Structure 1
C-alpha cells in the first residue's frame, strides 16, 4: 500500500508492477444527486482519516450496452459517487509531466476506468497519468434553456482544477499538464481550449479523432430536450425530467437517438441532424462562447500546443460490423459530401477513381471519414499555429480486414496496451508492437517537450506523421481530395 495527501484528505493506493503507484476512484467533486443534480460540480468536502483508493467505483449513468458492444470496451458500474479520477505515478516525490485523459463515447457512454486506459505504461515512461469520469447524456449535456448548461464540461474543468491543486502530491508537475482525449474526448479537448473557465489549467492538448465543430446551438439543444420530455410524458424541464427514474430517462434518450439517426432532418433536430449525436456541448455564450473551431482559428487558445489527428478509415466502425456498408445506396456518398462540405460536382467520382473496385458503402465511408473527422482536424491545425498532425493508418484484421484503420483503433497503441484482452476483437489478430512503441513514445515526448518528433503543420508544407507498419512523414497526402472540401 502507498499513501499521499490531497486537499480533501489522505488517500491510500497501491503499488503495481515496476514500482508504479496507482490510486483509483479519488473523488474530485460531490456526488451530483439530489439538490446537486443539474447543478455545476461542487468541490469535494474534506474527509477524516485515510480514504482507500484501490477500486474504481461507480461510473456515470449510461446505457448498459451499446451497438458496438464487444468491439468498443466499456465498464458500467452503477452508483452515485462517480465524479472521480484515477492516478498512476512513477514517483510520489518527483515532478513529472502530467497527462489527463478524457474518454470518448458520444458524450453518452464511457468512463475513465476502462481497462485499455490503464496508465501504468505512461507512468513507466515517466508521466503521471490521470483518467476522469464526468457526467454524460441527460445529466451532463441535456439543456432545456434553464439553469447552467454543459455540466459535463464543467465536470471536466473541476477535474482539471483538482489536478492543478493536488497533482504535486502524486509526483506531477502542475506547470506541465497535457490533456488528451479520443472521439467525444477529443471534441472535449478542443472545447476546453476555448472555454474561459478552463484557461490556464493545461498547457498542451492532444485530440484523437475529434476536432472543433461538435457543438450545437441552444435552439437545437431545446429541440432534443423537448422530445426527451415528450417520450417520458413530462414537461421538458430539468425538475420534471429529474423526477423520472434514471432507467426510464436512459431508455428515452436511446429512443430519441435512434429517431435522430432514422430521420436526420434539420427541421426536426437543428444542428444535431448534422453530427448525429444526441448530446453535444451547447454554445450558450458563457460557458462555451462559440463554436470551438471558429474561436481557435481566431486566436483563442493560442499558447496551448496542439497535436491532432485522425484514423484513415474512421467511419468503417459504424458501417462494417452492422453490414450496412454492403447495403448503402449510391446516393449516400453524395449526401455525406453535401452535409460535411464537399459540394463540388465530381466529388464522389474523385473518391471512386482513387479507390478502384470500392463499393458504394466504402466510398460513402471514406467521404464521411474525411468530412466528419479528417478535414475538421486539418482546418484546426491550419488555423492554430504550431500544431502537429498525425494519421493512423494501420488496418485491423477484424471482419476479414474490412474494418480498416477505423475509429478508436489507435487507443491500444497510444496506451501501449495491445496485450489487453478487451481490445482483441478490435485488433482482429496480431498487431505490431513497434507501432505501439512509436505512437506511445510520441505522445509521451509531446507531453514532456511540446514536440512529438516531426515538423509542425503549416498551409505551405502540410506535413503529417503517418503511423503504420512502416511509419513516416507525408506532405499534403491525398491533396486532390482535400481540395474538394470547404467548411459547410
Structure 2
C-alpha cells in the first residue's frame, strides 16, 4: 500500500473534522484527556498508564474525575545524563499522536519503545515526534517506563518481597500495551492492529516481549531496528550484579535501598559489572515466572511465530559508538588493530585471524574501516542474523532490511528516517521509503518486500534508490557464523 493510499484512507477524518476545530478531549477508561492540535494532528502528551512502588510490578491508575490536560511530556526514568529533562521514578506515562481522534477511524496503531539499552533513554526526544508518521494515517504512541535499577535490578533471590523486580521494566511495557488495548479506539486507533516498534534497546525489549507469556495477544506485528535479544540474563548472574550494585551503594540491606532517594540509586549505576567489567548491566531476567525461556534460543519462541516481524540494522552500527578521538580509534593502524578489535567483538575469536580475513576480503580497506566493519558484523549484526535465521527455519514471517544511507550509516541513523524527523533534505527520499514501508507493515503485516527465507536471505537495502539484494555481506556473515554467539550481558 502506498503512502498516498494511507492518506486517502484517513481523509474522511483528517479533512477538518469536528474535533480539530477545538482542543480535543477524549474519554478513556481512566478519565477524560485533553490534548492539543499541531499541524492538523491531535497530540496528547504525558498520559498516565500506571503507578508503581519501587522494585514492584506496576498497576493501572484509578479513574479520575474531571479532565486531565495532556499538554507536556511526563518525566523520564531516573538515569545518568539527560540533565535537561525532568526525571522521576513516577514515570509511567505515554504520548499519543493521531490524525483522527474519532472511534470511527480504526487506524493502525504504532507503539514505539525507545532505545538506550535497558538503562537510559527517553520517549520525549524530538527525534520521536510522532506527528509526521501520524499524518500519514496511523495512531502513534511512545512510552516512558522504568529503566536500569528501577526497572531491572533483580532482587528476588535476595528478598522474596520483590519477585518481579528483575522484569519490572518489561511489566511496565505490558501495562502500557494493556492501556492501548483498552483505550486507543477513542483516539482513532484499531486495537486489533497494534504494531510495536523500537530501536536498539527498544527492539531488544520487543524481542523479549515476543517470548513473554503475559504479553501474548497485546500486539499483532513487531519491528526491531538494530535491537535484538537472543538470550536474557540468567538469575545467578543477575543476582551477582545486584550484589555488586548494593556494594557500590554501601548497603547490604534491601530496606535501606528502599529508603534511599532516587538520586542515590542513580549513583549506584557506576558499579562495576562482576561479569563483563565496565558499568553494571541491567536487563530482563530468566526468572521462570515472567520469562520461562530465552527469546530466540534455542529457536524462535513459538509464542510469537505467527506475528509478522521486521528486523533491521544499519550498515555501520558501531560508527556511533566510538568518536574519532576515542582511545581505540586515535592512532589506529595495522600494528594495533587486532589488539584493539579483540575485546570489542564480544566473542572469543582470534582477532589476528579476523583482521587477516578482512584484509583478504576487502584489500582496499584501511585499518579503521576493518575495525568498524568487523565490530559491526561480529557484535551488532549477529543477533539480528540469528533471529532472522531462526524465524526462517520456523517458517515464520520475517522481513529484513539494512540501512545503507547515509554513508557511513551508524547506529540510530534509521530513527529520524522512520519518524520523518530528519534534518538533512537529502534524506527525504529514503525517509519516505522507510515511512511508507513501516506504515504498510502496520496496516497489513507486509512492508512491501519478500520475507526472509533460506537460502536466498532476501534483504531490503534502504539507500538511494532502495533495492532488494540476496544475502548482502555474505562473506562477513559466513566469517562470524563459525563462532558461537551469546548476547552481551547475559
TM-score of the superposition, structure 2-length normalised?
0.86
Give yes or no for contact 1:333–1:360 (8 Å, CA) kept in 2. Answer: no
Give yes or no for contact 1:325–1:362 (8 Å, CA) kept in 2. Answer: no
| CA distance 1:414–1:430, change in 2 (3 Å) | same
Partner residue in 2 for 1:132: 143
Give the secondary-structure state (helix, strand or coil) at the position aligned to 1:320.
Answer: coil
Give the secondary-structure state (helix, strand or coil) at the position aligned to 1:480.
Answer: helix
Give yes or no for contact 2:324–2:330 (8 Å, CA) kept in 1. Answer: no
Give the secondary-structure state (helix, strand or coil) at the position aligned to 1:394.
Answer: coil
Partner residue in 1 for 2:428: 433
List per-residue Cα deviations over 1:253-275 (Å, max 9, x = no partner).
0x22xx44xxxxxxx31xx56x9
Would you say 1:389 and 2:400 are equivalent positions? yes
1:318 CA drift (Å): 1.1
Give the secondary-structure state (helix, strand or coil) at the position aligned to 1:300.
Answer: helix
| CA distance 1:178–1:50, change in 2 (3 Å) | same
| CA distance 1:326–1:186, change in 2 (3 Å) | same
Partner residue in 2 for 1:316: 319
Give the unaligned 5+ runs of structure 1: 67-74, 261-267, 397-403, 420-428
| CA distance 1:91–1:341, change in 2 (3 Å) | farther
List per-residue Cα deviations over 1:424-477 (Å, max 9, x = no partner).
xxxxx6532101111111111111111111111011210000112222111111
List per-residue Cα deviations over 1:99-147 (Å, max 9, x = no partner).
0000001211111111110111111111000000010111001113242
1:192 CA drift (Å): 0.5
| CA distance 1:135–1:298, change in 2 (3 Å) | closer
Partner residue in 2 for 1:70: none
The number of residue pairs the alignment matches comes to 444
Would you say 1:333 and 2:337 are equivalent positions? no
Partner residue in 1 for 2:468: 473
1:367 CA drift (Å): 2.0
Give yes or no for contact 1:415–1:440 (8 Å, CA) kept in 2. Answer: yes
1:335 CA drift (Å): 4.1
1:293 CA drift (Å): 1.2
1:343 CA drift (Å): 6.0
Partner residue in 1 for 2:188: 171
Partner residue in 2 for 1:297: 300
| CA distance 1:132–1:295, change in 2 (3 Å) | farther
1:314 CA drift (Å): 0.7
| CA distance 1:355–1:65, change in 2 (3 Å) | farther
**Alpha-carbon RMSD:** 2.1
CA distance in 2, matches of 1:86, 1:431: 29
Give the secondary-structure state (helix, strand or coil) at the position aligned to 1:381.
Answer: helix
CA distance in 2, matches of 1:133, 1:390: 27
| CA distance 1:431–1:11, change in 2 (3 Å) | same
| CA distance 1:212–1:393, change in 2 (3 Å) | same
CA distance in 1, matches of 2:231, 2:367: 26
CA distance in 2, matches of 1:6, 1:123: 20
1:358 CA drift (Å): 3.8
1:347 CA drift (Å): 3.1
What does residue range 84-99 of structure 1 map to in structure 2 within 5 Å? 84-93=93-102, 94-99=105-110
Partner residue in 2 for 1:265: none
List per-residue Cα deviations over 1:356-405 (Å, max 9, x = no partner).
45444542332221223222112211211220000011135xxxxxxx21
